[in-house]
Amino acid sequence: MNKEEGIYIELEVEFSSAHSLPYNYSKKCSNTHGHNYTARVRFRYTIPDRVKYIDKHILEDIIKKVLDSKYDHKDINRTVFGNNKLPSTAENIATQLYEDINTELQNTEYKNYIELIQIELNEVKDFTVIYKIK
């Protein structure tokens, strides 16, 4: 079996956040504004020969817990990026979303056979950022 062969699961979620970018990144985006983000969260079974089923609601709950606490209907410059320590670009949001969901996953028994491998984030419909670990 090659490294990419196996069973993958992908969940799509939406969340709405306010943010702004530093003036030197974008004059227009330096004003606080909002986006309806779409994230596709991809997991991979690490032992697909033994695990044949996973309750999708458990993965949904992990993602929802993260989104509800820091992202959805929040000013992410503050709640995710600690008062602008990092700019809230789509690239940084995808990376941080990976870190946050993975941390939550590591608190469950699923960590033993499910791996978070990719976050695909749309800030607007025609602009996709992908954070991928393999």
Chain residues binding Zn ion by CB under 5 A are 29
Nearer to Zn ion, 19 or 44 (CB): 19
Least spacing, CB of residue 93 vs Zn ion, in Å? 10
List CB contacts of 129: < 8 A, sequence separation 6 or more. Answer: 90, 91, 93, 94, 120, 121, 122, 123
Determine the Cα–Cα distance for residues 24 and 29; give it in Å rounded to an integer: 10
Least spacing, CB of residue 34 vs Zn ion, in Å? 8
Q: Which two tokens stand for residue 93?
A: 């949001």
Judge contact between 116 and 43, C-beta under 8 A. yes
Least spacing, CB of residue 22 vs Zn ion, in Å? 12
Least spacing, CB of residue 21 vs Zn ion, in Å? 7
Which single residue brings its beta carbon nearest to Zn ion? 29
Nearer to Zn ion, 7 or 29 (CB): 29
Determine the Cα–Cα distance for residues 80 and 86; give it in Å rounded to an integer: 9
Nearer to Zn ion, 100 or 123 (CB): 123
Nearer to Zn ion, 16 or 107 (CB): 16
Phi, psi of 109 (to 5 degrees): -70, -20
